[in-house]
Structures are given as C-alpha cells and as structure tokens.
Amino acid sequence: MYVEMKEICKTFDGFQASDHVSFGIEKGQMAALLGPSGSGKTTILRMLAGLDMPDSGDIMINGILVNDLPGNKRGIGFVFQNYALFRYMTVADNIAFGLEVQKKGKAEIKERVEELLELISMEDLGKRYPHQLSGGQKQRVAFARALAPRPGLLLLDEPFAAIDAKVRRELRNWLKEMIGRVGITSIFVTHDQEEAMEVANQVIIINQGKIEQIGTPKEICFHPQTEFVSDFIETDRWIV
C-alpha cells in the first residue's frame, strides 16, 4: 500500500467528521473519495495533506508513519478546491514557487516550469496573472503547480467543482490522461457519482464520516454492499 489510513477519528466541535476510517491505496492508483456534501470526505483529504490533524489513528504514506510530520515533509501535491493560486504572482511564478522554496537552481527551475507549461499546453501564458485566466486554465495551473516539486502523491479537493458543466467533461478526460501520463498516485474528492466512476479506478464511498464501500467502479455499480450505496448510485443513473 502506498497510502494507508488506519482507524482515523476526527471531531470538530462535537461533530464527528471521521468515524474509524480505514483504507489503503496502491501505488499508481487513482482513487476517488465519493460522498454527499458534509460526509467528511474533504476532512480525510486534509488529514492526508497534514492540513488537519486526526484525533486518533495512523496515517502512512510510502511506508512512513506521517502522523506528526508537517504537510510540507510528506511529499504531496495538493490542488485546492478554489485552486488557491497566488493572486499576486504570474502563472510561471506560481509553478516555480515550490521549487524556489526548495532552493533549486535557477536553470533547473526554468526548465521544469517550461516543461510543465508545455504539459498543460499553456506555453504562451506563463506571464499572465491568475485573474486573467479562465476556470479551466486556472485548474491546469493549479495542477502544474502541485506537480512541480515532483511529489509522490497528488491530492485534489473537488477539482471540477468550480468549472461550468460544459468544460467539466472535457477537463475530466484531460486530467485523467495527464495523471496517467505522469503516473502519480492520486486521490480526489468529489460529490459527483459520474465523475468518480469515470475518472477513478478505485472508489471509496463515504457517508456521515464512515466508509460505506471500497471497490472498483464496476464492483460499486453492480454489487453495492449497503442500501446507502445503491441509493446513491441509483439516483445518479436516473439523472443521467
């Protein structure tokens, strides 16, 4: 297992956000944390990133117990829901920031930034500021910025939530392809069943802070183990 959560519990002001959550994800997998809003999926992602601390339980990444390791030492890239692009830096500076902080050489940074701009097909937009970009472009920059320091694990919080429906499907395929090409283990949070089924090869369904089912999209679709899962997936089929 590349990523493992064991018996994680977390409460916020008496609200049980995570209730004995345990799961594992193999290296190179693309996993989706799927659940209705308020189910506690974002909390799990934030705990993996070290943005929130669990009350009890263990988190392992690449065989290392990271419970008390600050987020920046866990070797992860994080794509925020609203991208959290640095508003006062250009696209290129955004991507370079993580490398600058690691005190990489100027030439190396430049090379890596160019490589990533090419990857996200935004070679000509390096000098733009975030407010001059479309939603889809912002998302791609956030993706490139997270990848720049070559993390071992990529975490994405509702990566498509802020993008309008038309572009979403397109971007979804793009992201799937990119992650496949880079070959990085990734976990993303979503409340959209279709999104999870289409993009991920492992789906973790969460409800009220508990894991309902873990499996491949196929298993979840054809063998739902709880009533909640069958409801949650069924309703989706109806809408689509």
Partner 1 sequence: MSKKKQRTYQQDIVGDSINSLRKVVEPPKENGSHLMKYLLIGISAAFLFLMLALPLAVVVMNACKEGWDAYREAVMDEYTMKALQLTLLATVITVAVNTIFGLFASFLLSKFYFRGRQVLAALIDIPFSISPVIAGLVFILTFGNMGWMGDVLDKYNIKIVFAVPGVVLVTVFVTFPFVFRELFPVLNAQGKDEEEAAALMGAGGFTIFRRITLPHIKWALLYGIILCSARAMGEFGAVSVISGHLRGKTNTLPLHVEILYNEFNTTAAFAVSSILVLLAVLILVVKSLVEWKKE
Partner 2 sequence: MEQQIVKVKNKKGVRVIPGFGLSMGVTLAMLSCIVLIPLASIFISVSKISLQEFVEIVTSRQVMSGYMVSFTCAFFAAIINGAFGLVLAWVLVRYDFPGKRIMDGMIELPFALPTAVAGISLTFLYSDQGWIGQLFDKAGVRIAYTRIGITIAMVFVGIPFVVRSVQPVLAKLDRQYEEAAMMLGAGRWRTFFRVVLPELFPALLAGFGLAFARGIGEYGSVVFIAGNIPYETQIAPLLIMSKLEQFKYSDATAIALVLLLVSFLLMFLINSLQIYMQRFVKN
* Angle, CA of 189, 102 and 95, to the nearest 5°: 55
Stretch near partner 2 under the rule CB under 8 A, chosen from 46-54, 95-103, 144-152, 183-191: 46-54
* Identity at 29, one-letter amino acid code: Q
3-state secondary structure of 29: coil
Decide which of partner 2, partner 1, none touches 149; Cβ closer than 5 to 8 Å per partner kind: partner 1
Residues of 108-119 as b/e, b for ≥16 C-beta within 10 angstroms? ebeebbeebbeb
Look up residue 83 and give its two tokens: 């991208």
Given candidates 19, 20, 58, 71, which one binds partner 1 under the rule CB under 8 A?
Answer: 71
Cβ(203)–Cβ(34) below 8 Å: yes
Cβ(25)–Cβ(202) below 8 Å: yes
Given candidates 16, 29, 71, 104, which one binds partner 2 under the rule CB under 8 A?
Answer: 71
Q: Does 45 bind partner 2 (CB under 8 A)?
A: no
Given candidates 70, 107, 131, 240, which one binds partner 2 under the rule CB under 8 A?
Answer: 70
Given candidates 84, 119, 161, 178, which one binds partner 1 under the rule CB under 8 A?
Answer: 84
Q: Does 122 bind partner 2 (CB under 8 A)?
A: no
Which residues inside 9-68 make contact with partner 1, applying CB under 8 A? Answer: 49-51
Output 70 or 183, the one with its CB closest to partner 2: 70
H-assigned helices in the chain: 41-49, 91-101, 106-119, 135-147, 165-182, 193-199, 217-222, 227-239
Output 50 or 159, the one with its CB closest to partner 1: 50
Where along the sequence are the contacts to partner 1 (CB under 8 A)?
A: 49-51, 71-73, 76, 78, 80, 82, 84-89, 97-98, 101-102, 145, 149
